[in-house]
Chains A and B, each alone.
Chain A
Amino acid sequence: GAVVSQHPSWVICKSGTSVKIECRSLDFQATTMFWYRQFPKQSLMLMATSNEGSKATYEQGVEKDKFLINHASLTLSTLTVTSAHPEDSSFYICSAPTSFDEQFFGPGTRLTVL
């Protein structure tokens, strides 16, 4: 099956700094990618839809200035958590569809903000 990678898998940063997370589709192109957030022992919440060559679409309640998304190419989307604070600590997961009903998920990135 298709492979989606994320980098880094785990990051620790100080409060107030910015962190960039990469999501890559390794063997297919994706004009759309999705970013999710998962709190411990909870479900995945869709944060935003990343669109290659255009602005991301954010879900209600997600701060677009806080979570910057850039879909620079057909295989790469990045999520930047700006001025991170402890409440931003979470597990961030991306996904990319290969066809209308099949999505592949990255392994996730665990962010810890001290």
Chain B
Amino acid sequence: AQSVTQLDSHVSVSEGTPVLLRCNYSSSYSPSLFWYVQHPNKGLQLLLKYTSAATLVKGINGFEAEFKKSETSFHLTKPSAHMSDAAEYFCVVSSGGYNKLIFGAGTRLAVHP
């Protein structure tokens, strides 16, 4: 079975400082991993995805994530937070079958002036 654990339920940063959202996964085979963002009253938006190509994945809005097999991690980072980054972030793993996604519990990112 596949699963994903987001290590922080809440992260608070100041505007202009780096962002780190942590995610660990469990998978019996090479997984596909994703980060999605959910803004209030908006649909989920794909930030980036890893599908066994380059281990450092660049996404939209300056976000990137690094797949580390030895650590079973897929942490999301951004060098400089913006107020508009405040949202809920989900780490997601693809589970066997066609496009079946398993969501982590989510991390709420707050960005302070």
Spell out A's residues near B (CB within 8 Å). 4, 32, 34, 36, 41-46, 49, 93, 95, 97, 100-108
CA distance A95 to B102 in the complex (A): 13
Is the CB–CB distance between B43 and A4 below 8 Å? yes
* Residues 1-58 of B at the A interface (beta carbon under 8 Å): 32, 36, 41-46, 49, 51
A101 to B105, CA, bound (A): 21
A49 touches B100 (CB 8 A): yes
- B90 in contact with A44 (CB, 8 Å): yes
Is B98's CB under 8 angstroms from A32's CB? yes
Residue in A closest to B44 when the chains form the complex, CB atoms: A105
**Other-chain residue from A93, A97, A100 in contact with B44 (beta carbon distance below 8 A):** A93
Interface of A, helix, strand, loop or mixed by DSSP: strand
Instruction: Classify chain B: how many residues form its interface, as a range.
Output: 20 to 34
B residues at A contact (CB < 8 Å)? 32, 36, 41-46, 49, 51, 90, 94, 97-106, 108
Closest to B104 in A: A43
A32-B98, A34-B99, A100-B99 known; A107-B106 Cβ under 8 A: no
A53 to chain B, nearest CB (A): 15
Tell me whether B105 and A42 are in contact (CB under 8 A). Answer: yes
- The majority secondary structure among interface residues of chain B is loop
The residue from A46, A102, A107 contacting B43, defined by CB atoms under 8 A apart: A107
With a cutoff of 8 Å between Cβ atoms, the chain B residues found around residue A104 in the complex are 43
Given contacts A101-B49, A101-B51, A101-B94, contact A46 B44 (CB under 8 A): no
If A44-B90, A95-B101, A107-B41 are given as contacts, then 6 extra A-B residue pairs at C-beta distance below 8 Å, sorted by A number, are A36-B103, A42-B105, A43-B90, A49-B100, A100-B98, A103-B99
* Contacting residues, chain A, for B104 (C-beta < 8 A): 43
The answer to whether A46 touches B101 (Cβ under 8 A) is yes
Q: Which residues of A contact B46 (CB under 8 A)?
A: 102-103
A93 vs B103: C-alpha distance when bound (angstroms): 13
Q: Which residue of A lies closest to B105 (CB)?
A: A43
Q: Please indicate the chain B residues that have their CB under 8 angstroms from the CB of A95 in the complex.
A: 44, 101
With a CB–CB cut-off of 8 A, which chain B residues contact A97? Answer: 98-99
